[in-house]
Structure 1
Amino acid sequence: MKTCAMCDIKFNDGVQCSNCKKHLDFVCASITEGGWRKLGTDRRAQWKCPTCRISSPSPPNTEPATMEAILAEIKDMKRQLLELPKLANDIRDIKDELSQVKSTCESTEQKLEEYGSRLTVVEDKVNKLEKLQEVITCLQTDLEKVKFDFASQEHRSRLNNVEIKGIPTKKGENLFSIMETIGRKISFNCPKSQINYISRVPMYNSNDKFIVVSFLNRYVKEDFIAAARANKELSTADIGFQGATQRIYVNDHLSIEHKKLLTKVKAIAKERNYQYVWVKHGKIHVLKNQSTKLIIIRKEADLNKIV
């Protein structure tokens, strides 16, 4: 381990001046480690530090000049002068190329500034669009909630209702009398006092109308549906209608959204070999078989439960 004579820092590898014998690191010696290695043994032995080179300049060459040496130097100078025109041309070419590069750079800089301005405008528009998208997303969420609340309210308003399909419309018909006849057929006592209202309602994409019966008591409604479903062969002939016999269907009076949901449930259940799909208390029930767990579908997201 040596100490540099200039910076007083210790080092492992450096140089030694042949004149003052001082040790220096490569930085203070103004030479790289690679340059020092390339000097060779003889030249390293004669190497002088920067301070010694200044204080003891190399002695001038006192060897007398000969004619041959002078002529050789003149010849070498003439040879170098012959290269001047080519060098001048090269310099002119370089200047032209630099001028073109400068012009191109200026044009590119102008275009970059233009593109930068356009990019700023686009970024502003994107930011506005992102904010607008956030507003739209919030509005969509609110709309979905409103639609869900409205559908839920409509569904609740129909929980006491029964929908009867398959009974042809007759001029001057008495719907209360039809209900009494159905009640006798299915062995269910349904007095007029238990009915809130009864009316014909148009069917979607059909000229027929089904009967909607609104009960005052939900449990009476559920018992009526259960009794009707127990009589699976209930038909128009059973309630005194002449002509071709039609099957009569008694079901919950579902909202349009719940009817669509029921259609989807039936399709998926059939595809996945579920044996039972029915509606009770306004809720869609699904059962694969007697040994599986009952599934209740209240909204479309619940369809994922049918696996």
Structure 2
Amino acid sequence: MLADAKLDKLFEAISFVASQNANIHGALQNIKTMIGEDETRLRDLENDMSRAYLEIEKLREQVDGLSSVSRQQTTEFTVPGIPSTLPEKDDDAVIAGVLGRIGAERFLPDITRVRRMKPRNSASEFWTLLVVCKSSVVRDEIVCLKIQKGDIAVSDIIPNQASAAERKLFLNEWLPRPVHELLQEVRSKARARGYQRVWIRDGVIFVRKYSTAQRIQINSKSDIDKIA
């Protein structure tokens, strides 16, 4: 009988250990399940972040694209360096002379307005004319013709103006203030990094480090870091 009692105790101990092992095994399985669920959630979060990043990049491209389009739709160009002594009534004749000089007389009917822009320095001897065209296409064609023509002396368009005798006449696409400010920042960074050329076309800024290098397009301030 004593042996039977000992065996019963042994079986009880073994059963208890087995029960504890089963509980521990169950707990481990629960932990593994929780870890697996956490890993799944982590992967889902990583995937969500990746998708969010892609959406942000798409939105950024769309914003840059819209900004670029809005800049391309400007229709003005400027003619700086006009002597302040020139009567304002002669401004239209000056623009007609400029267009004639560059072979763009056909666009005279497409000029809707010519006005003087107030200089930053009220004592300046020179003014800038702002010329409004019917469309950006007309404006771009006039700018291209001026580039092809090359340098034009102000005296060729406005004779008998001593203050302008040695000056060159420029014709530039008009830039809204935000674009102009961005252009100044780009020029400063490009100069510091040794870039050879900075230019703007249809309201979009480009830089090139040397003649055979790929051009870099600058749409916003965040793109300035591309100038390395």
Question: Match for residue 110 of structure 2?
Answer: 194
Question: Match for residue 224 of structure 2?
Answer: 303
Tell me the TM-score normalised to structure 2 length: 0.62
Tell me the TM-score normalised to structure 1 length: 0.47
Residue 120 (structure 2) aligned to one of 195, 204, 229:
204
Q: Note if contact 1:176-1:192 (Cα within 8 Å) is conserved in structure 2.
A: no
Residue 89 (structure 2) aligned to one of 173, 181, 189:
173
Q: Tell me, which stretches of 5 or more residues in structure 2 are unaligned?
A: 1-7, 11-62
Residues in 1 aligned to 2:200 and 2:72: alpha-carbon distance in whole angstroms: 16
Residues in 2 aligned to 1:267 and 1:240: alpha-carbon distance in whole angstroms: 34
Question: Match for residue 185 of structure 1?
Answer: 101
Question: Match for residue 219 of structure 1?
Answer: 137
Pair 1:229 & 2:147 matched = yes
Residue identity in the other structure for 1:289: Y
The 1:270–1:157 alpha-carbon spacing in structure 2 relative to 1, beyond 3 Å, is closer
Pair 1:162 & 2:63 matched = no
Question: Match for residue 254 of structure 1?
Answer: 175
Q: Note if contact 1:158-1:254 (Cα within 8 Å) is conserved in structure 2.
A: no
Classify the secondary structure of the residue corresponding to 1:286.
strand
The 1:203–1:180 alpha-carbon spacing in structure 2 relative to 1, beyond 3 Å, is same
Deviation at 1:205, TM superposition (A): 4.1
Deviation at 1:182, TM superposition (A): 0.8
Residues in 2 aligned to 1:221 and 1:238: alpha-carbon distance in whole angstroms: 22
Pair 1:265 & 2:181 matched = no
- Where do 4+ consecutive residues of structure 1 move more than 6 Å? none
Identity %: 23
Q: Tell me, which stretches of 5 or more residues in structure 1 are unaligned?
A: 1-7, 11-147
* Higher relative contact order, structure no. (Cα contacts within 8 Å, ≥ 6 residues apart): 2
Residue identity in the other structure for 2:198: V
Question: Match for residue 66 of structure 1?
Answer: none
The 1:168–1:261 alpha-carbon spacing in structure 2 relative to 1, beyond 3 Å, is same
Question: Match for residue 243 of structure 1?
Answer: 162
Deviation at 1:194, TM superposition (A): 0.6
The 1:251–1:296 alpha-carbon spacing in structure 2 relative to 1, beyond 3 Å, is same
CA RMSD of aligned residues (A): 3.4
Residues in 2 aligned to 1:284 and 1:206: alpha-carbon distance in whole angstroms: 30
The 1:255–1:205 alpha-carbon spacing in structure 2 relative to 1, beyond 3 Å, is farther
Question: Match for residue 3 of structure 1?
Answer: none
Deviation at 1:247, TM superposition (A): 2.1
Residues in 2 aligned to 1:182 and 1:301: alpha-carbon distance in whole angstroms: 38
Task: From the CA coordinates, give the structure whose radius of gyration is larger.
Answer: 1
Alignment of 1:1-307 (within 5 A): 152=67, 156=71, 159-169=74-84, 170-208=86-124, 209-241=127-159, 242-244=161-163, 245-307=166-228
Q: Note if contact 2:73-2:136 (Cα within 8 Å) is conserved in structure 1.
A: no
Q: Note if contact 1:158-1:253 (Cα within 8 Å) is conserved in structure 2.
A: no
Classify the secondary structure of the residue corresponding to 1:159.
coil
Classify the secondary structure of the residue corresponding to 1:182.
helix
The 1:207–1:152 alpha-carbon spacing in structure 2 relative to 1, beyond 3 Å, is farther
